[in-house]
Copies of this chain bind each other. A is one copy, B any other.
Amino acid sequence: MGNCLDILRNFFCTKNPNVRISLPAVCFVWQIAMIVLFGVFIRYDEESDTGRWLELKKHENITSDVENDFYFRYPSFQDVHVMIFVGFGFLMTFLKRYSFGGVGFNFLIASFGLQWALLMQGWFHSLDHTTGKIYIGVESLINADFCCAGCLIAYGALLGKVSPVQLMVVTLFGITLFAVEEYIILSLLHCRDAGGSMVIHAFGGYYGLAISWVLYRPKLHQSSRLNGSVYHSDMFAMIGTLFLWMYWPSFNSAITDHGDGQHRAAINTYLALASSVLTTVAISSMSKKKGKLDMVHIQNATLAGGVAMGTSAEFMITPYGSLIVGFACGIISTFGYLFVTPFFEKYLKLQDTCGVHNLHALPGMLGGFIGAIVAASASEAVYSKEGLINTFDFEGKFANRTVGTQGGYQAAGTCVSIAFGIVGGACVGLVLRLPIWGDPADDNCFDDEVYWEVPEEEESIHPILEYNNHMVHKHQDISESNFSVEQS
């Protein structure tokens, strides 16, 4: 009987991070499911199907192939693609011994996520009810990458504490929730959110935080020796930071209106980001003795301006308006790293490895409300009558909406995204507490050894060190009894 209890306790309490069956099973089964669903639903759209593009050109009197949406969006798509895989991936390599997991699991879940996103977003946004098919083009690829971004943000809060199988589950549900909240916000509430302050950053941030809160590990300090960076891992993380920072203008302009819309969104984001860097440096320097800068702030808070411009980048927020947004968000985000993350950990029992609250959740929420204010204060004098209609898509059944009403809906959309993130994350967190996912023990967190074949150390290439070790061992033989060996 006691034996039986022991087995049960063992089953429920001992961590067994062996994913040799579960990880391959999940990858194979889900990838096969993707193939079947793509076979049933996904087809090329009329700009990527050879017969239909020729037809479209004739039908609409298009004289040049340069009118194909590919040429409007492909450069931005590639920039976004770099942000998803190198940007997010390398940003998460800052831990001294979790760089493989940071960039590798990011790679895995984004590769699955983008396929599932094409389906989910397709069902909600572009299912052709006459043929029952989803037609995809370059804009669908950008949206699928955006959708992944939400889950990668959530991964930031969980970094080092979950198994790859759990991450696949986080992604499966995350993409699903994303598609639903996006449908509600963009289609039902008719909000504008080109760079996704609300639908991507606020949702993704709170989704990850809620999961992390449910998965709270009281004994995480047992891994604290690994919960930090080393010199070169900080440099790898700077690769991620800079590619995110540089390409963020493409992120916020990738799916905005052709012409002035993409042009303006890029300018606004460029300015907000520049402004964030200066205030991040200022606060970081003020907070440490002798004015030393902290790499954590430079790697993260400098990006807050881009997050906060996600909604309003395409609006006529004015260049100095963009600077002000970046100015404020650099300060807020750095303060978050200084005070809010430690507060969360101590009082809310919320462990946020990368500080996604400060980089995504909070600036995303602010970005949503900034968007609401900018929308509400739009005027024909600034936008022109036709420009107002174009920018806010006041057409069809929304033809009579005023900018004031639009502002209200934008604010409502922000709340919807946060609610989806928190409630959805809490539920997914409960699922992840099942003892079947192979997550690491508390003293094994932030350690690549658990899920990766890690190469041996460099000793063999340092003759002096090796000799050194050799000698130490010699001495050990002689004097072993004289002191106790301490290895942390």
Contacts and interface: CB of A to CB of B under 8 A. Distances in A.
Nearest to A455: B229
Interface stretch (A4-12, A110-118, A198-206, A342-350): A110-118
Contacts of A23: 281-282, 285, 291
Interface string A282-314: 110110111111110010001000000000000
A319 B282 contact: no
Interface string A68-85: 111110111011011001
A72 to B, nearest CB: 7
A43 to B, nearest CB: 7
Interface stretch (A99-107, A176-184, A352-360, A420-428): A99-107
Interface string A230-258: 11101110110011011101100000001
A396 interface: no
A404 to B, nearest CB: 19
B487 A48 contact: no
Contacts of A76: 74
A18 B90 CA distance: 31
- Count of chain copies: 3
Nearest to A68: B259
Nearest to A16: B290
B323 A282 contact: no
A21 interface: yes
Nearest to A262: B70
A281 B28 CA distance: 9
Given A31-B327, A66-B66, A285-B20, A230 B457 contact: yes
A291 B466 contact: no
Contact of A245 (B32, B85, B388, B453): B85
B72 A75 contact: no
